[in-house]
Amino acid sequence: MALWQANRVRDLLLSTHGWDDDRVQIKILKTKGDQIKGHLSQFGGKGLFTRELEDALIDGRIDLAVHSMKDVPTVGQDALMIGAVLERADPRDAFISNEVSSVLDLPHGAVIGTASIRRRAQLARLRPDVDFCLLRGNVGTRLAKLETGEFIATFLACAGLKRLGQEAVITQAVPPELMLPAPAQGAVGIELRREDARARDAVEVLNHRDTMLAITAERAFLNALDGSCRTPIAALATFAGSDLSFRGEVIATDGSKHYGTQSHASVSTPKEAFDLGFGLGQEVKAEIGDIVLWDSSIGDGA
């Protein structure tokens, strides 16, 4: 998926600016997040997917880093910035099963393979009778394990499967009303050095305004709640004209508690989007108080 995203940005830069093929080169860097087999929080959280790329930006080995925005920490390094966000793909979760047709059709006691603490919490709230096992790895690895019968179903992001041409494996695109996606799910961002005006000018034409504003609100909500990969937080913002509709929630890891919020507002600038999401996050945080919702034996992951 990371390579697909990098090639997509490269192709857009070449076609938009009319550059020769050798003008943009791809440098593949392995991150710790790609190599870890256990729970991410045991090794430093989601920043493991971006840290090596940011180090390479800062020391000048690369000029642009391409990220899945749901993996980017909400507090970044001062020397770096997100220069552009591509138009968002389908943000919904993909439910995948060879035995049942939807989340709600899972049999009692079904075992679900996932490493996402958010998906576990949401599914535990919908179906407290199901069980979970840890599942990480690329798309092929996860689908192969599904075939062996280790679990009855798993989840991936619709956006990633569609980008890889594997939409056919999606059993159900889960409606956000059932399972709200992770903040910024489906969005690809381009990070660069803040002082690099040449790179900033090159990528800004690729920025999709509505996507940028939507994920700014979602990530601000996450930021206000001090969200990490141990925190079951979901959010989705969508536009209709200039009106932004926002929904966000925090769920206990065992599904027993749920705190949600929603809002509709006219938003036209990143600051307005940030203020909306951050304010809603602060309201939810005040409602939660001192209750620790994510300290559970269920586990954690990305």
Catalytic residues: 71
Angle at 82 between CA 48 and CA 30, to 5 degrees: 30
Helix (H, G, I), strand (E, B) or coil at 46: helix
Residue 121 region by backbone torsions, left for phi larger than 0, else alpha for psi between -120 and 50, else beta: alpha
Per the structure block, which two tokens stand in for 144?
Answer: 């192969």
Pairing relation of β-strands 243-251 and 93-97?
unpaired
* Best CA proximity match to 220, nearest among 271, 292, 294, 259: 271
List Cβ neighbours of 189 (8 Å cut-off, separation of 6 or more): 66, 67, 68, 69, 72, 82, 84, 85, 86
Sheet with 188-193, edge to edge strand ranges: 65-68, 188-193, 80-85
List Cβ neighbours of 144 (8 Å cut-off, separation of 6 or more): none
Residue linked to tokens 């256990």: 38
Q: What CA–CA distances, in Å, run from 246 to 18, 183, 216, 235? A: 38, 11, 11, 7
Are the beta carbons of 130 and 106 closer than 8 angstroms?
Answer: yes
Sheet with 258-266, edge to edge strand ranges: 233-240, 243-251, 258-266
In whole angstroms, what is the distance from residue 163 CA to residue 186 CA? 10
Helix (H, G, I), strand (E, B) or coil at 158: helix
